[in-house]
Amino acid sequence: MKTILQAVQAVLEEVPDHVTVVAAAKQRSPAEIDAVARAGIPHIGQNYVQEAADLKRDVTEDVSWRMIGHLQRNKARQAVALFDWIDSIDSLRLARRVDRFCAEMGKVMPVLLEINSGREANKTGFFPEKIDAVLPELAALSHLKIHGLMTMGPRFGNPEDSRPYFVETRRIFERIAASPPAGVEMSILSMGMSNSYRVAIEEGATMIRLGTALFGSRKG
């Protein structure tokens, strides 16, 4: 079994330099997060606000905290205080709420917009055909800075099953990048997890979110 250091080194040797690796640290310990950061991945993704709050007290390395899971609106104020990035803005209502709390705290939050590329009713995110209509209003929120898009794709199964999700999101990314609203910067395309990151990179990802590929399987 690889150590975290060995796993991180293997991933960083494989992944192109233009692709940022985020350590998806759900249910991981402060020691594991510190180990990933020391090995060369300072970008830590968290799915839950309370878990991130607990971890931040004990993680000793200098890391960037990214919210990568669904953010409930009633957790938005706490998330604004905790996170350096919110990579999962999945509705206009959530965006407005985050913007309001950012204004209260005097900060501008860098964000990614989540695209529900599979149009799945049980998942959050903007449907591909809806994003253009709401983008001007999202861009007008003065305490959010849109840096790109994020999508999920299937978590398990054949990595090739994820390719259509990634292709769809890349097309949206490229379309917006060709003529972005004022203040919108299409520089990050976050897609691909441990089972699908190679396909995601082939389809244009500039950011991938890896959990088991770095930490190994969760215990218990």
For the stretch 19-49, pLDDT in tens is 999 999 999 999 999 999 999 999 999 999 9
Question: To the nearest whole percent, how much of the chain has pLDDT over 90?
Answer: 90
The DSSP secondary-structure symbol of 200 reads H
Quick one: pLDDT at residue 219?
61
Number of neighbouring beta carbons within 10 Å of residue 1: 6
The mean pLDDT value for 82-101 works out to 98
pLDDT at 65 over 80: yes
Question: To the nearest whole percent, how much of the chain has pLDDT over 70?
Answer: 98
Quick one: pLDDT at residue 119?
87
Cα–Cα distance for residue pair 52/28, rounded to 1 Å: 10
Cα–Cα distance for residue pair 110/146, rounded to 1 Å: 6
pLDDT digits over 120-160, tens only?
A: 888 889 999 999 999 999 999 999 999 999 998 776 678 89
Angle formed by the axes of helices 92-105 and 131-139, nearest 10°: 10
Considering only 53-57, 120-124, 210-214, which range has the smallest mean pLDDT?
Answer: 120-124
pLDDT at 67 over 90: yes
Whole-Å CA distances, 33 to 28, 42, 83, 164: 7, 9, 15, 32
> pTM score, two decimals?
0.95
The mean pLDDT value for 100-114 works out to 98
Identify the CA nearest to 69 among candidates 25, 129, 35.
25
pLDDT digits over 170-185, tens only?
A: 999 999 999 999 989 9
With tokens 């990614």, the residue in question is: 112
Q: Which CATH superfamily is domain 4-215 in?
A: Alanine racemase (3.20.20.10)
Quick one: pLDDT at residue 173?
98
pLDDT at 220 over 60: no
Quick one: pLDDT at residue 217?
84
The DSSP bridge partners found for residue 48 are none
